[in-house]
Amino acid sequence: MTEPSSSIPPAERVFEGIPASAGIAIAHAFILSQDEDPSPHDPRLEAEEIQIELERFAAALAEADKVLEQIEMMARADVRDRAEIFEALRMMLCDPALTLAIEAQIRESSSTARAAIVTETNRLAAIFSASGDETIRSRAEDIRSLQAHLIACIQKAPVDHRFHDSAVLILSTLSPSDTVLYARNQAGAFVLESGGINSHAAILARAFGVPMVAGLKGIARMSRPQGMVIVDGYAGRVIIDPEPATVQQYRERKAALEEQRSNLGSLRDLPAETTDGTRISLAANLDMIDEVDAALENGAEEIGLMRTEYLVMGRSGDVSMEEQYSYYRQLAERAYPLPVTLRAFDIGSEKLAGEIWGRNSSPLGMRGTRLLLARREVLDRQIEAVLRASAMKNLKLMFPMVSSVEEIRRLKEVIADVGGKLRAENIRFDEHMPIGAMLETPAAALTADAFAAECDFLSLGTNDLAQYTLAVDRTDDALASYYDEFHPGILRLIRACSVAARRAGIPLTICGELAANPLATGVLIGLGIRRLSVQPIALGALKMRIRAIDTDTAGRMARDVIRLKTAAEVRGYLMDCA
Ligand code: PEP
Ligand code: MG
């Protein structure tokens, strides 16, 4: 076997991580050297050195607090409310539980300040890491970042935050303050070996608009300094040494996204209405609370689908009522006065299937509302938290993957029971919080009139409706060519739902991917759809498309395509119209 010649360019390698902050970067890698194990084997102090070391620690503490205060001020200027992360960090830093423990180590074990900081912060981080609560677990990272701060201050060796030309920074971990400083120094993107969607670094990266992919263990070792990297923060993908064709493809995507963003400014305050003045309501689909800002910036009129699964990721459903309440409440406040449609946990199938949720990975198995009705304690907790958070009257609750109206009836009984309990405890909530169903199975779509009679609103989840109507597992790549939402069978189901909702006089929103597909906009409007909910980033393009359509043409398109026989014929027809 021959050694590869050094003139052969390195092969493209693709890594899938956690999409922690949206955006695309194409740049050179800047690998930030792995921190050495800070655990020092410092010699024991002599008795007369102890007082000096205590003073060094006090000075380092004051210095670290000053540095964090400065970063907090910078963050306040750039990302407003995210600066509160630093307030919390400073409180942790000066918490006597930590500082007294470090001082005691120095005094009683004759440790150097550095060794005492490492021991005590590691101890605290281990306690946080062992918590069953994900929010508390993620605070272990904050403690480690405080450790790095204090040590840098003790050693008088601040981190250098300069690098070149919007580089992609590849790091093992990233503290909140480093995130701010790197972002202000024009980091192109962050690629992290650790972390997740909810770390402070991720929240700040999103606030600064710097793409981030997290959770790629070993990526620093596999990257070349100055090598070309593509970071796709939408998909959570990192491509090392991309082929020229891949670079070209991503350049085009990036340019299209930038153009869309710049067009958006002028479109933002214009209504989403057809050329003949028919208003279409545009809402946003969100997975996480931090995306509320993006929804508002992109002109969403509501949050049409707030997925809640992320709250139970990695847990068996025992996320407490209190934690959920605080999350839903914050969401309601941040979006206020916009309405927010919370979707009850849609667990099973491709979402969070696995060990802790039981063997429910089949799309035809225990999933969504079925699973909630089988796990009453999980359902009751979620309903209680949503009702408690509904006092501002801008929350709605909808249930996924239902196949019979009986499920809705049972859910309404549960809601009434939980509401009765809250009333007995004198807890205020929205007594008329709207309850809706997601039409995602053919059975539900074909009995949309029955659902309309029981619900305050309906939402069409075309991703699943396509999966179940076409009998195609939506996650199976081998079947991708069979999964086509333009199948006339699906369009006919959409028409049936639209007619049922109109007759019942209740709102119907399309919240599946089809809603964002510009090829579909005309035909959906022609089928009578007046509400669309899509990812915030897709709102601008969708509004532009709507403003170029007239309802007569849309109606004709709908009448024509509904008679066609195949998805290919529908696509062909719509392409000709475009
Ligand atoms: C859908 O099925 O269309 C939908 C919006 O829900 P999800 O993609 O979360 O299943
Ligand atoms: Mg769905």
- Domain total in the chain: 3
| Peptide bond connecting 225 to the previous residue in cis, omega within 30 degrees of 0 | no
Closest Cα partner for 315 from 362, 364, 375? 375
Q: 198 and 151 in one domain?
A: no
257 located within any domain:
no
Q: 564 and 517 in one domain?
A: yes
What CATH number corresponds to the domain at position 200?
A: 3.50.30.10
214 located within any domain:
yes
Q: 410 and 361 in one domain?
A: yes
Residues 23 and 211: beta-carbon distance below 8 Å: yes
H helix runs in 43-83, sequence order: 50-79
- Provide the β-strand partners of residue 213: 19, 191
pLDDT for 577 equals 87
pLDDT for 4 equals 43
Q: Is the CB of 419 under 6 A from ligand 1?
A: no
Q: 446 and 359 in one domain?
A: yes
Residue 88: both structure tokens together: 């919390």
Q: Is the CB of 461 under 6 A from ligand 1?
A: yes
pLDDT for 198 equals 62
What CATH number corresponds to the domain at position 392?
A: 3.20.20.60
Max Cα distance, the chain (Å): 92
Residue 557, CA distances (Å) to 516, 530, 551 in order: 18, 16, 10
Q: 205 and 333 in one domain?
A: no
Q: 3-class SS at 345?
A: coil
Residue 202: both structure tokens together: 């991720």
424 located within any domain:
yes
Whole-angstrom Cα distance, residue 418 to residue 380? 7
Q: How far is the CA of 493 from the centre of ligand 2 (A)?
A: 16
Q: 224 and 77 in one domain?
A: no
Q: 143 and 190 in one domain?
A: no
Given 155, 180, 206, the domain boundary residue is: 155
Q: How far is the CA of 385 from the centre of ligand 2 (A)?
A: 22
Neighbours of 261 (CB within 10 A): 14
Q: Whose alpha carbon is nearest atom 1 of ligand 1?
A: 461
Residue 299: both structure tokens together: 């002109």
Residues 235 and 241: beta-carbon distance below 8 Å: no
Given 123, 155, 187, the domain boundary residue is: 155
264 located within any domain:
no
Q: 117 and 199 in one domain?
A: no
Residue 257, CA distances (Å) to 58, 165, 250, 251, 252 in order: 49, 21, 10, 10, 9
Q: Model's pTM, two decimal places?
A: 0.61
CB-based neighbours (< 5 A) of ligand 2, an ion: 440, 461, 464
pLDDT digits (tens, 9 = 90+) for 241-256: 999 999 999 999 999 8
pLDDT digits (tens, 9 = 90+) for 48-89: 899 999 999 999 999 889 888 888 887 777 665 567 778 888
pLDDT for 20 equals 82
Closest Cα partner for 439 from 373, 511, 348? 511
Residue 138: both structure tokens together: 């993620």
466 located within any domain:
yes
Whole-angstrom Cα distance, residue 188 to residue 507? 42
Q: Is the CB of 535 under 6 A from ligand 1?
A: no
Q: Is the CB of 264 under 6 A from ligand 1?
A: no
Q: Is the CB of 507 under 6 A from ligand 1?
A: no
Neighbours of 63 (CB within 10 A): 17
Neighbours of 132 (CB within 10 A): 11
Residue ranges of the chain whose pLDDT lies below 50:
1-5
Closest Cα partner for 134 from 316, 367, 284, 366? 316
Whole-angstrom Cα distance, residue 24 to residue 239? 11
Whole-angstrom Cα distance, residue 524 to residue 510? 9
What CATH number corresponds to the domain at position 98?
A: 1.10.274.10
8 located within any domain:
no
pLDDT for 1 equals 37
pLDDT digits (tens, 9 = 90+) for 511-561: 998 998 889 999 999 999 999 999 888 898 899 899 999 999 999 999 999
Q: How far is the CA of 350 from the centre of ligand 2 (A)?
A: 10
Closest Cα partner for 545 from 558, 556, 532? 532
254 located within any domain:
no
Q: How far is the CA of 511 from the centre of ligand 2 (A)?
A: 9
Residue with tokens 């770390």: 199
Q: 431 and 507 in one domain?
A: yes
For 69, the domain range is 47-155
Residues 274 and 525: beta-carbon distance below 8 Å: yes
102 located within any domain:
yes
Pocket test for ligand 1, best of 342, 440, 441 (most atoms within 8 A of CB): 440
Q: 314 and 218 in one domain?
A: no
Given 155, 173, 192, the domain boundary residue is: 155
Q: 438 and 462 in one domain?
A: yes
Backbone angles phi, psi at 31, to 5 degrees: -90, 120
CA atoms within 13 A on the CB side of 312: 25
Q: Is the CB of 462 under 6 A from ligand 1?
A: yes
Q: 404 and 276 in one domain?
A: yes
Nearest ligand 1 atom to alpha carbon 464: 2
Closest Cα partner for 378 from 440, 309, 287? 309
